């Protein structure tokens, strides 16, 4: 035992010594450094692996195919957050110091981490891009100049889902007297759509029942028996991780038709449906982007990145919903840099400049086509008062083997959502003593 103890002492001493000399890895000078707070382990690791795999693959593509953004090469570092807020903050602080110009923009990919970073990012002048999650009222860029919930937010999603259900029922008027259940993850994320759905229920006259599923959601018998007894016309699934597949399987168990279930975009990936197997066939989900490999940008990634052995993730993930979403998220970041370069010159952009680029982002259909995205994403136009961009979602249906688009890009009650966002943002501004105004450049 004695030698053991000496060994322990030696090991501890080495670790202590090494720890005191943790080197700050210097990034290659002259590159646009992108800090990535990712996660690939833990209960949501599989989701993160697909998203961040696509994200990094797109960055690789820009370097390999184009030699960077207007000649400025990209470099990046990924820090593992495990979907844990404290670790997310540590990663953010670490990535912040990695480069003179900051981490370009941060995609926290977690509502919890987003909340923790909102104040810090504003103080550090680093844009936060929260693509389809996070704080909904941050869409008001006059109060939250540094946060960009681009594409759509949860309230857009909820109203779009109601619109989709209305269309399926043959018009919104037919929703009167119908019964809709919201089955949600019992957390900050799951509570986000409540106010807007309640408002919709009041406006359109349907009966709304909200049933929470405790974390992690791998046992949903009682929730689904309640649903069976209540006999709703539709079930909206607001889940994440294991909860989604379990919901689909339990729906089959109680005999609830899957083609009367609509998920949001975090409940609509292959990870959820493939695990559920045949139980998922017919299930709808709102999506921020289409799945599939048939886009030029995906082909380019396969050719320039994976063929050269520089692919980041598992090649099986290419073309899946979340992987494509990661590619889209990276594209938005890079386009913001490109936009900023138009104004500030073709060099490495700082957080402030990227913020300006984000706020003046205008990716129209022509630009999407030029970038090789075609119809994978809707056009996105950001402005100071609307950091959201489009509010458009598209519905896909799981055929048993793949996700197939079954609607156009549609939006729900944009006016109502806008008003609620402004009210909520104004309340926040009053609490924090912020004077809402456009930041400009």
Partner 1 sequence: MLYRESGQFKTTYAADQQLFPIRQDRYAFFALLAVSFVAIPLLASDYWLTAILIPFLVFALATLGLNILTGYAGQLSLGTAAFMAVGAVAAYNFQLRIPGIPILLSFVLGGLTASLVGALFGLPSLRIKGFYLAVATLAAQFFIPWLLVKISWFSNNSASGVITAQPIEILGYAFDSPMRKYLLVLAIVALMALAAKNMARSSIGRAWMAVRDMDVAAEVIGIRITHTKLVAFAVSSFYCGMAGALYAFAYLGSVEPDGFNLDLSFRILFMVIIGGVGSILGSFLGAAFITLLPILLEVLLTSGAAALNLNLQPGVTSMAQLVVFGGLIIFFLIVEPRGLARLWQILKEKLRLWPFPH
Partner 2 sequence: MQFFFEVLIGGLLAGVMYSLVALGFVLIYKASGVFNFAQGAMVFFAALTFVGLQEKTGLPFWVVIALTLAVMVLLGVLIERIVLRPLVNQPQIALFMATIGLAFFIEGLAQLIWGTEVRRLDLGLQDEPIGVLMDRFGILVSKFDLTAALVAGLLVAVLAVFFNKTRIGRALRAVADDHQAALAVGIPLKQIWAIVWSVAGFVALVAGLLWGARNGVQVSLTFVALKALPVLILGGFESILGAIVGGLLIGAGEKLAEIYLPPLASDFLLRHFDVSVNLAGIEGWFAYMLALVFLLIRPEGLFGEKHIDRV
Angstrom distance (rounded) from CA 112 to CA 135: 9
- Of the residues 35, 68, 102, 112, which one makes contact with partner 1 according to CB under 8 A: 112
The interface mask with partner 1, positions 361-400, x = CB under 8 A, is ----------------------------------------
Q: Shortest Cβ distance from residue 186 to partner 1 (Å)?
A: 7
Angle between helices 321-344 and 351-359 (to 10 degrees): 110
Angstrom distance (rounded) from CA 259 to CA 263: 11
218-248 in b/e form (b: 16+ CB < 10 A) is eebeebbebbeeeebbbbbbbbbbbbbbbbb
Contacts of 56 (CB under 8 A, 6+ apart): 36, 76, 78, 312, 313, 326, 330
Q: Which token pair is 428?
A: 């926040």
The residues in 401-420 that bind partner 1, with binding defined as CB under 8 A, are none
Could you give the angle at the alpha carbon of 435 between the alpha carbons of 355 and 361, nearest 5°?
Answer: 25
The interface mask with partner 2, positions 15-44, x = CB under 8 A, is -------------------------xxxx-
- Of the residues 65, 73, 125, 194, which one makes contact with partner 1 according to CB under 8 A: 194
Q: Which token pair is 47?
A: 């989701």
Contacts of 439 (CB under 8 A, 6+ apart): 141, 145, 355, 359, 384
Q: Shortest Cβ distance from residue 198 to partner 2 (Å)?
A: 12
The interface mask with partner 2, positions 306-345, x = CB under 8 A, is --------x-------------------------------
The residues in 263-292 that bind partner 2, with binding defined as CB under 8 A, are 271, 274-279
Torsion angle of the four alpha carbons 194, 198, 200, 206, in this order, in degrees rounded to the nearest 10: 120
Choice between 182 and 280, CB closer to partner 1: 182
Give me the residue label for tokens 């795999």. Answer: 53
Residues that bind partner 2 (CB under 8 A): 40-43, 45-46, 49, 186, 210-216, 218-219, 221-223, 225-226, 228-229, 241-242, 245-246, 249-250, 252-255, 271, 274-279, 314
Residues that bind partner 1 (CB under 8 A): 1, 4-5, 8-9, 12, 15, 18-19, 22-23, 25, 38-42, 45, 49, 52, 78-80, 82, 84-86, 89-90, 93-94, 96-97, 111-112, 115-116, 118-120, 135-136, 186-189, 191-192, 194-195, 214-215, 312-313, 424
């Amino acid at each position: 035992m004695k030698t053991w103890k000496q060994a322990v002492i030696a090991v501890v001493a080495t670790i202590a010594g090494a720890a005191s000399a943790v080197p700050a890895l210097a990034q290659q000078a002259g590159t646009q450094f992108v800090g990535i707070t990712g996660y690939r382990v833990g209960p949501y690791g599989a989701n993160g692996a697909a998203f961040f795999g696509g994200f990094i693959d797109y960055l690789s593509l820009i370097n390999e195919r184009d030699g960077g953004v207007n000649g400025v090469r990209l470099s990046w570092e990924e820090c593992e957050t495990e979907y844990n807020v404290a670790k997310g903050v540590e990663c953010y602080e670490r990535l912040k110091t990695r480069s003179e110009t900051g981490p370009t923009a941060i995609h926290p990919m977690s509502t919890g981490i987003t909340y923790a970073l909102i104040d810090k990012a504003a103080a550090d002048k680093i844009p936060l891009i929260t693509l389809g999650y996070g704080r909904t009222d941050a869409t008001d860029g006059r109060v939250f100049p540094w946060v960009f919930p681009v594409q759509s937010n949860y309230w857009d999603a909820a109203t779009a889902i109601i619109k989709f259900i209305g269309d399926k029922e043959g018009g919104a008027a037919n929703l009167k007297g119908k019964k809709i259940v919201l089955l949600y993850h019992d957390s900050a994320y799951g509570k986000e759509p409540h106010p807007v759905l309640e408002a919709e229920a009041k406006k359109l006259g349907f009966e709304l029942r909200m049933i929470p599923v405790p974390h992690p959601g791998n046992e949903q018998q009682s929730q689904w028996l309640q649903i069976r007894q209540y006999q709703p016309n539709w079930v909206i699934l607001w889940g994440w991780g294991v909860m989604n597949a379990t919901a689909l399987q339990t729906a089959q168990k109680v005999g609830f038709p899957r083609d009367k279930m609509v998920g949001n975009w975090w409940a609509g990936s292959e990870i959820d449906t493939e695990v559920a197997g045949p139980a998922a066939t017919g299930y709808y989900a709102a999506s921020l982007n289409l799945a599939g490999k048939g886009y030029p940008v995906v082909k380019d990634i396969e050719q320039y990145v994976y063929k050269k052995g520089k692919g980041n993730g598992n090649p099986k993930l290419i073309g899946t919903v979340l992987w494509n979403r990661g590619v889209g998220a990276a594209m938005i970041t890079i386009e913001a840099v490109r936009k900023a370069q138009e104004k500030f010159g073709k060099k490495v952009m700082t957080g402030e400049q990227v913020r300006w680029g984000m706020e003046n982002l205008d990716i129209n259909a022509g630009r999407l086509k030029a970038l090789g995205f075609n119809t994978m994403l809707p056009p996105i136009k950001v402005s100071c008062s609307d950091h959201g961009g489009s509010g458009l979602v598209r519905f896909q249906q799981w055929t048993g083997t793949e996700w197939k688009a079954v609607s156009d890009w549609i939006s729900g009650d944009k006016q109502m959502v806008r008003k609620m966002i402004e009210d909520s943002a104004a309340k926040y501004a009053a609490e924090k003593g912020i004077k809402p105004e456009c930041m400009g450049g």
